[in-house]
């Protein structure tokens, strides 16, 4: 997800730099493991302008730590390769993003050289964090930001790989199906009903101590009218009814721009659905699978989500409505740690295992499984202001370069998604976390929860 942001780090949340390196090593090991199922050829290409090759992701996460942590803090700093400073940067020397399509043309350096680059950065980070400068808050903050940044790219890597493999006639598997994910599913989906939420003045935005992105702040008051949310996500079976009712041919349920998108792309179904011998199938990271009606719908654009909601006599929630509900439940769901890498069926009805208060409405699958589109445009909160460097502290200029304006520069023509997905590390998610993508985006693990006014 295109979130490069500023961190908020509480002094009371600090762990030792020795522990911080252990966390660094754990996250880096997972990045390497994610590439373990890929061939060298898989790592060198990509299939979408918005995506990147796996080996670029690997070089990019190493680049972040070399550029923003090692360069200002390492004694006698020397880059692994001077050209990597721009090759693996999101921005070129003029402050513009590298055109993503060109990354697939980087046949050199080889994957093995990039792996050497990562190992070199790992060793240097180890030395730095085992003997850090005394009480340096900025070193800690930059390292924590880099850890969150790398987990972000782990998720991006899986989404990019899925789209790449879906273009292959061999229909290859990234991993073998997990036990029970596509078999022994419930005969009928969990019933969907409406959970009501009172209106009034609520607090929106990050509240706590520790890491957050700057787009989650400042915390502020917002008025909500009474509303209701669907008790579960929309399933494949639900969306199939929309297709069979002619939803992709009914201009009346589409936004004008969405209808243009449908016609220009000849869109007739979600991006990874296939019709084969009168049977629907779905491409997954476990290869092609029979479409399971009771699994959550995934990989739909904002246009499709909005059209389905209109067709169903509902709407998408606002991000404030979602956060108001999300702040009442523990963060528990189908995340990357489960290893499924695909949305799972809803828990049986009346399951409240992750419910903090039985006095508050319970929503199944609120966290994990799929990122939930909201109708909210991605824009700054009232009072938002990107932090600027302290000119009296030269090291803070590094902070500005790393994080100072990424989110503010992205706040146009995008919509907010909430809740995380089955490929999101659970520790990345909190009620205030804001993901964002353009309305056309459907290669991300995005789905639908309905809302209505009361």
Instruction: Decide if 209 is inside a domain.
Output: yes
Q: Does residue 251 sit in the same domain as residue 329?
A: yes
Q: C-alpha angle 163/165/170, rounded to 5°? A: 145
Instruction: Decide if 389 is inside a domain.
Output: no
Contacts of 33 (CB under 8 A, 6+ apart): none
Q: Does residue 151 sit in the same domain as residue 210?
A: no
Give me the numbers of helices (H) and strands (E) for the chain, helices first please. Answer: 12, 12
HEC states along 76-87? CCCCCCCCHHHH
| Closest among 201, 189, 225, 232 to 361, alpha carbons compared | 232
| Closest among 139, 152, 194, 197 to 328, alpha carbons compared | 197
Domain containing residue 57: CATH number: 1.20.120
Q: Does residue 268 sit in the same domain as residue 157?
A: no
| Alpha-carbon torsion, ordered 264, 266, 271, 277, to 10 deg | -170
Q: Does residue 330 sit in the same domain as residue 370?
A: yes
Q: Does residue 123 sit in the same domain as residue 235?
A: no
Residues 143 and 186: their CA atoms lie apart, in Å, by: 44
- State CA 62 to chain mean position distance: 20
Q: Does residue 74 sit in the same domain as residue 199?
A: no
Number of Cβ atoms within 10 Å of the Cβ of 426: 16
pLDDT in tens, 347-393: 765 455 545 555 678 999 999 999 999 999 999 999 987 755 444 45
Residues 8 and 38: their CA atoms lie apart, in Å, by: 35
Instruction: Decide if 119 is inside a domain.
Output: yes
Q: Does residue 229 sit in the same domain as residue 153?
A: no
DSSP string, 72-119: HHSTT---S-TTHHHHT-SB-TTSPBPPGGGGGG---S-HHHHHHHHH
Question: Which CA distances in Å does 153 have to 48, 52, 331, 339?
Answer: 16, 10, 21, 17
Q: Greatest CA span in the chain, whole angstroms?
A: 69
Q: Does residue 202 sit in the same domain as residue 155?
A: no
Question: Which CA distances in Å does 387 have to 68, 69, 362, 397, 405?
Answer: 17, 19, 37, 11, 8
Instruction: Decide if 395 is inside a domain.
Output: no
Q: Which helix (H) or strand (E) holds 290?
A: strand 287-290
Domain interval for residue 241: 194-378+414-453
Contacts of 48 (CB under 8 A, 6+ apart): 160, 163, 443
| Residue finishing a domain among 118, 148, 166 | 166
Q: Does residue 304 sit in the same domain as residue 441?
A: yes
Residues 110 and 55: their CA atoms lie apart, in Å, by: 9
Q: Does residue 161 sit in the same domain as residue 205?
A: no
pLDDT in tens, 21-49: 999 999 999 999 999 999 999 999 999 98
| Alpha-carbon torsion, ordered 253, 257, 258, 264, to 10 deg | 120
Beta strands in 205-286 (DSSP E): 220-224, 227-230, 273-276, 279-284
In the chain, how many domains are there?
2
Domain containing residue 325: CATH number: 3.90.1580.10
Instruction: Decide if 27 is inside a domain.
Output: yes
Backbone angles phi, psi at 210, to 5 degrees: 130, -160
Each residue's pLDDT expressed in tens, for the chain with a length of 454 residues: 333 333 333 333 456 777 899 999 999 999 999 999 999 999 999 999 889 999 999 999 999 999 999 999 998 899 999 889 888 887 655 555 555 667 877 888 999 999 999 999 999 999 999 887 765 788 888 999 999 999 999 999 999 999 999 999 999 999 987 656 676 677 777 899 999 999 999 999 998 888 888 899 999 999 999 999 999 999 999 999 999 999 999 999 999 999 999 999 999 999 999 998 889 999 999 999 999 999 999 999 999 999 999 999 999 999 999 999 999 999 999 999 999 999 999 876 545 554 555 567 899 999 999 999 999 999 999 998 775 544 445 555 565 566 654 566 788 899 999 999 999 999 999 999 999 999 999 999 999 999 999 9
Instruction: Decide if 23 is inside a domain.
Output: yes
Q: What is the distance in angstroms between the CA of the first residue and the CA of the last residue of the chain?
A: 33
Beta strands in 326-443 (DSSP E): 371-377, 415-418, 435-437
| Closest among 178, 132, 210 to 343, alpha carbons compared | 178
């Amino acid at each position: 997800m295109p979130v490069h942001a500023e961190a908020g780090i509480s002094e009371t949340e600090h762990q030792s730099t020795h522990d911080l390196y252990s966390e660094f090593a754990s996250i880096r090991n997972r990045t390497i493991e994610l590439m373990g199922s890929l061939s060298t050829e898989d790592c060198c290409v990509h299939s979408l302008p918005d995506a990147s090759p796996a080996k670029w992701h690997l070089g990019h996460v190493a680049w972040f730590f070399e550029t923003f942590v090692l360069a200002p803090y390492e004694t006698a700093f020397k880059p692994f390769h001077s050209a990597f400073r721009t090759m693996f940067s999101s921005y070129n020397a003029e402050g513009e993003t590298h055109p993503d399509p060109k990354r697939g043309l980087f046949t050199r350096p080889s994957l093995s050289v990039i792996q050497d680059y990562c190992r070199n950065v790992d060793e240097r980070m180890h030395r730095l964090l085992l003997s850090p400068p005394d009480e340096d808050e900025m070193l800690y903050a930059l390292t924590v930001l880099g850890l969150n940044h790398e987990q972000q790219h782990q998720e991006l890597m899986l989404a990019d790989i899925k789209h790449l493999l879906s273009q292959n006639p061999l229909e290859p598997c990234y991993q073998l199906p997990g036990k029970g994910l596509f078999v022994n599913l419930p005969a009928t989906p969990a019933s969907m009903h409406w959970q009501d939420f009172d209106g009034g003045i609520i607090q929106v935005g990050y509240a706590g101590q520790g890491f957050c992105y700057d787009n989650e702040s400042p915390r502020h008051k917002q008025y909500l009218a009474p509303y209701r949310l669907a008790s579960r996500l929309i399933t494949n079976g639900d969306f199939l009814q929309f297709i069979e009712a002619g939803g992709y041919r009914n201009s009346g349920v589409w936004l004008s721009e969405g209808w243009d998108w449908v016609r220009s792309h000849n869109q007739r179904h979600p991006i990874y659905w296939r019709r084969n011998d009168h049977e629907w199938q779905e491409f997954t990271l476990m290869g092609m699978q029979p479409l399971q009606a009771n699994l959550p719908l995934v990989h739909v654009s904002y246009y499709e989500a909005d059209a389905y909601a209109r067709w169903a006599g509902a709407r998408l929630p606002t991000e404030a409505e979602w956060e108001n509900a999300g702040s009442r439940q523990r963060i528990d769901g189908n995340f990357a740690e489960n290893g499924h890498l695909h949305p799972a069926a809803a828990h049986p009805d009346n399951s409240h295992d992750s419910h903090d208060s039985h006095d508050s409405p319970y929503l199944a699958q609120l966290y994990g499984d799929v990122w939930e589109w909201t109708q909210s445009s991605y824009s700054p909160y009232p009072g938002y202001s990107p932090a600027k460097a302290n000119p009296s502290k030269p090291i803070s200029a590094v902070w500005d370069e790393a994080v100072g304006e990424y989110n503010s520069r992205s706040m146009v023509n995008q919509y907010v998604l909430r809740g995380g997905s089955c490929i999101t590390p659970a520790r990345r998610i909190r009620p205030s976390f804001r993901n964002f993508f353009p309305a056309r985006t459907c290669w991300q693990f995005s789905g639908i929860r309905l809302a209505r006014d009361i």
